Structure 1
Amino acid sequence: MIRRIVLAGASVGRDWDFPGFPERTGLTDIQCEYCGRFDFDKKPLLDRLLQPGQPVPDAVLLKECAAYFPGDHQGYTAMMEEWVDRCMQAGAVPVLVTVAPVVRRTGKLRWLKELAARLQGRRTVTGRLAAISRFNDWLRELASLRGLALLDLEEALRVGPHDRSLRPDLHSGDGLHLNEGAYSLLDEAMGRLVRSGLAPVRTEEA
């Protein structure tokens, strides 16, 4: 039975107040913890969580931040698969977590800022959204292929299936970080996953 769940993440995990999730939702038979590392590479964090001689969490949520995109997609996917294997070898259930999207730029001023960023070789919102969508699609495929549990934050927060950007009413003002309304939706999504017993993703054929 799943009792102790640890969220390995960055700003979303911290600001979500994941340790307070059981009390907020009434799911008080579980214990939730947050372990943060503000870098895509969560290996040092997992080294601490899963080191021999310490109690191993029942489940580990592997969560990445939108700020790390676009990046090295091939390197990112290789690391994620390594962490999944590491959790399973230690006896912890790995839970994949899709990356929360960002707000799409609209209006003339925002378009000009996007153009300036592109000309200066900086990250653009368009490029970030495309990279996040690609990574999230890969996470869903991995969950399906390996029978892993998936917490789909993108699905909970996006405008819709044809516009995968963050809903404009769900950010804290910068288009990237989430507000209280967004975290309430994350509570709902996490609640459904916990009540399912962290059920793995089912393939369409199943």
Structure 2
Amino acid sequence: MKAVNEVSFTVEDHEIHGLIGPNGAGKTTMINLISGLLSVSAGEIKLDGQQIQNLPAEKRARLGVARTFQNLRLFKNLTVRRNIEVAEIQKRKNATTDPDLINDAIDRFGLGDVLQQTPDSLPYGQMRRLEIVRALALRPKVLMLDEPAAGMNPEETNELFENLTWLRNRHPCAIVLIEHDLQFIMSACEKLTVMNMGCLLASGLPQDVTKNNEVINAYLGQGN
């Protein structure tokens, strides 16, 4: 069985697009393919019409493809400020000059008081928020978030929803969101793509996708 087989979807600027499916559906593999951590054996990956599937991950990042990870990948020996600055140094060429973006994000995501601390001194939810701000420091065209609410309590999840809404309005990027919290996904996303066993199961508006019988059977675990 192929990890990802003929899955296709498009994400527009300012859109929050949910990528959902049961465990093992291929969601993280899809993000790895888009970001360049894995190589495609067939098909195309396009950013603003430009094919990027043959570019290494670092070049894709400089073109505007940013992501977070299921398992946090922060520079533990660097301060919060330096973690963000490392990404700023690599930000994409010709990015719109917006000197206030990251300072605004630092305040919005509650990192202003911990900039001189190292990530391992922070609560888990704050480390999650740091990873998002660091990805934003690349000034991405596409920001892919792999289960950003994992391990967060309900209050933190609500704050994350508000922050993603702010981010979508503040910076002109497309957001791809992998998440298992269906209520969170339904509230945050304009469109959904559903995967199962490496294949595309459904794609469209959340209210339509969640009524699809195949989605109900595969993801929600019950049929009509």
TM over 0.5: no
Tell me the TM-score normalized by structure 1: 0.35
Tell me the TM-score normalized by structure 2: 0.33
By percentage of residues, which structure has more helix?
A: 1
User: Relative contact order (alpha carbons < 8 A, sep ≥ 6): 1 or 2 greater?
Assistant: 2
